Amino acid sequence: MDVSVVIPVYNEEESLPELERWLVKVCTDSNLSYEIIFVDDGSSDSSWNTIRELSYNNKAVRGIRFRRNYGKAAALHSGFAEAAGDVVITMDSDLQDSPDEIPALVKMIKEDGYDLVSGWKKKRYDPFIKLCTSRIYNLTARMFSGIRLHDFNCGLKAYRNEVVKGIEVYGEMHRYIPMLASKAGFSRIGEKVVEHRARKYGSSKYGIDRFIKGYLDLVTIGFITRFGKSPMHLFGSLGSLMFFIGFIMAGYLGIRKLLSLHNNVRAPLVTDSPYFYIALTVMIIGSVLFLTGFLGELINRNSSERNNYLIKDKINI
C-alpha cells in the first residue's frame, strides 16, 4: 500500500464527508493505493456515525473510537499503530489542511529520500494572537532542538512508515514529533510550504492553555531524549557539584575558625554565620539530587524499554 492517511477527529461531523471525498479523488487521480484511518477522540457529536457510514461505502476507510477525549497525541499513536502504508500522512479533520498536497509529500518521502516532511503554513488564516504565539513557539523549538523547521505544529506531515513505528507519541508530544524522530535517528527531515485554508465548519478546539502545555512538553522532551536512559548523568552531576560547593563553603568556615584559635584570636561560633546554614542546605540539596539520579538508574534498570534500540540494517544475521 502506498499511503496511510491518519486523521484525528474531535467533533468534526460536518467536515468528514467532504474530506473523505477529497482524499479519495486525490489518491485516485495520483494512482496511489491508500487507506484512510479516522481516529475519533471521544467526540460528543455524530462524528463516529459519520465515520461508520463512510467506512460502509468505502472499504479503504477505517475507524478507531476512544471512549473519551485523550488528546491528539493519543489519536496519532493509535493511528500510527494501525497504519500499513509505505508513507503515512497526518492531517487535521477540519479541512484547513489540503489533501492536494499529498502527492508532493509522498514524492519527497519516496523519491527524495526524506524520513519526515513537515508542512509549513506560510500564509495562515488564524487570529493575530495565535499567529504571534505560534512564531514565538516555533522560534523557541528551533533554538532548543536545532531542527530548522518553520512550523513544528503543522498537522500536515508525511512520514516513512518505519518512523511512526519507531517513535512513541504521548501526552501533548504531537507538537514535537520532528524532535522525537530526530532523536530516534531519523535525521532526514524536510519541509514543504503547504496551503492553509480558512476553517469552513465549527470552531477551533484549542485554547490558550496549549501554549503553556507546549512549553512544558518542550522541557520534558528535552530531558527525556537526553537523559531518559541515564538520569544519573544529570542528577548525579548536579548533585555532586552542589555538594562540593557546600563542602567548600563549610570547609572555609571551619578553617577560618581553626586559624583564629591557633592565633589566639577570639572568633564567633561557626553556627553563628549564615554561610554555615547556606552551606548545609546546599550539601543537603546536592545529596538529594544525587540520590534522585541513583533511584532513577534503579528504575531505569528494571524498565522493559531499557534495551529497545532502533536497528536500521542487518547483514548476515
- pLDDT by residue (tens digit) across 181-239? 888 889 899 999 998 877 777 666 555 566 666 666 667 666 766 676 678 888 888 99
Confidence of residue 173 (pLDDT cuts 50, 70, 90): confident
Determine what percent of the chain is predicted with pLDDT higher than 90. 43
Q: Provide the residue ranges of all domains of the chain, joining segments of one domain with +.
A: 3-227, 231-301
163-172, 187-196, 238-247, 276-285: segment of lowest average pLDDT: 163-172
Per-residue pLDDT averaged across 84-97, rounded? Answer: 92
51-55, 76-80, 256-260, 309-313: segment of lowest average pLDDT: 309-313
Q: What DSSP letter does each residue of the chain carry, written as one string?
A: --EEEEEEESS-TTTHHHHHHHHHHHHHHTT--EEEEEEE-S-SSSHHHHHHHHHHH-TTEEEEE-SS---HHHHHHHHHHH--SSEEEE--SSS-B-GGGHHHHHHHHHTS--SEEEEE-SS--S-HHHHHHHHHHHHHHHHHH----S-TT-S-EEEEHHHHHH----TTGGGGHHHHHHHTT---EEEEE--BPPP-SS-----THHHHHHHHHHHHHHHHHHHTT-HHHHHHHHHHHHHHHHHHHHHHHHHHHHHHHHTT-----GGGSHHHHHHHHHHHHHHHHHHHHHHHHHHHHT-TTTT-------S--
Task: Report CA Rg, the chain.
Answer: 27
Per-residue pLDDT for 82 more than 60? Answer: yes
Confidence of residue 130 (pLDDT cuts 50, 70, 90): low
Distance CA 176, CA 217 (A): 8
Higher pLDDT, 245 or 209: 245
Please tell me the predicted confidence (pLDDT) of residue 109: 95
Higher pLDDT, 135 or 290: 290
- The CATH code for residues 3-227 is 3.90.550.10
Please tell me the predicted confidence (pLDDT) of residue 73: 87
- Residue 304 has a CB neighbour count (10 Å cut-off) of 6
Please tell me the predicted confidence (pLDDT) of residue 309: 47
| Cell 552551606 belongs to residue | 279
Determine what percent of the chain is predicted with pLDDT higher than 70. 83
92-96, 133-137, 165-169, 174-178: segment of lowest average pLDDT: 133-137
Please tell me the predicted confidence (pLDDT) of residue 245: 93
Distance CA 121, CA 95 (A): 14
Long-range contacts of 228-231 (CB under 8 A, 24+ apart): 228/300, 229/300, 229/306, 230/297, 230/300, 231/292, 231/293, 231/296, 231/297, 231/300
| pTM for the structure as a whole | 0.72
Confidence of residue 164 (pLDDT cuts 50, 70, 90): very high
* Residue 44 CA: distances (Å) to CA of 13, 48, 146: 10, 9, 39
Confidence of residue 129 (pLDDT cuts 50, 70, 90): low
Higher pLDDT, 270 or 39: 39
Per-residue pLDDT for 288 more than 70? Answer: yes
Please tell me the predicted confidence (pLDDT) of residue 203: 63
- Residue 30 has a CB neighbour count (10 Å cut-off) of 16
